[in-house]
């Protein structure tokens, strides 16, 4: 499959799909941290990223057609991790002062959710999208996938089954929430756990 990992700079999810033999690409406003830099697209801005998700620009791939001659999508699947700063309940106390930023974040989330791709996963923490959009199809935790930590993560699914736990372990350490202040705090909080990435690639790939 051709898989787009939108809003991912770490390459963790993308590399898990590549290891399963898929043509997976990550796309973000930042360069990738992964050694597989060739499978990463740096978008100029969010509209450019949306254009990539909608098949408007990519590395030379043409739009395919099915047997009936109808247009089909460049991407078979997209896993998107849109910014949660103005969406997560953890930042609710600042919502009233950032209404424009929140509207922009909601619009970006919905543009990804409505992208013309057959299979879509949108990931975000518990937040306002449960009412702005719909309730998530499931909420997962790292400890269900081999990491003894807590980080409630919502998944909105289109064309895919719920993710099944692969390795339930003990430990309920809230490491992400206790990340010390600093310029890289948001980066450290946003990276996908490797156990979850592997489960996504194995079950959805």
For the whole model, what pTM was predicted?
Answer: 0.84
Give pLDDT tens digits along the chain (205 positions): 999 999 999 999 999 999 999 999 999 989 998 876 678 988 878 877 888 887 755 444 344 444 554 444 589 999 999 988 778 766 555 556 667 888 888 999 999 999 989 999 999 999 989 999 999 999 999 999 999 999 999 999 999 999 999 999 998 877 655 555 555 544 546 689 999 999 999 999 9
pLDDT number for residue 104: 85
List all residues 6 or more positions away from 136 whose beta carbon is below 8 Å from its beta carbon. 129, 130, 154, 155, 156
Phi, psi of 112 (to 5 degrees): -65, -45
Angle at 40 between CA 11 and CA 81, to 5 degrees: 55
Report the candidate in 44, 35, 42 with the shortest Cα–Cα distance to residue 12.
35
pLDDT number for residue 191: 87
């Amino acid at each position: 499959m051709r898989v787009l990992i939108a809003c991912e700079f770490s390459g963790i999810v993308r590399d898990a799909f590549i290891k399963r033999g898929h043509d997976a690409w990550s796309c973000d406003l930042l360069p990738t941290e992964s050694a597989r830099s060739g499978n990463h697209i740096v978008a100029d801005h969010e509209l450019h990223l949306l254009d990539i998700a909608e098949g408007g620009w990519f590395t030379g791939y043409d739009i395919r057609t099915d047997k009936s001659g109808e247009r089909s999508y460049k991407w078979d699947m997209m896993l998107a991790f849109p910014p949660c700063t103005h969406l997560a309940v953890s930042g609710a106390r600042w919502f009233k002062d950032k209404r424009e930023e929140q509207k922009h974040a909601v619009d970006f989330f919905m543009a990804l959710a409505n992208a013309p791709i057959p299979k879509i996963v949108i990931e975000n923490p518990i937040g306002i999208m449960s009412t702005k959009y719909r309730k998530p199809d499931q909420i997962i935790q790292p400890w269900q996938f081999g990491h003894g930590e807590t980080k409630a993560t919502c998944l909105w699914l289109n064309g895919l089954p719920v993710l099944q736990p692969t390795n339930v372990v003990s430990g309920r350490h809230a490491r992400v929430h206790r990340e010390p202040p600093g310029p890289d705090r948001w980066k450290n909080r946003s990276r996908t756990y490797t156990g979850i990435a592997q489960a996504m690639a194995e079950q959805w790939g």
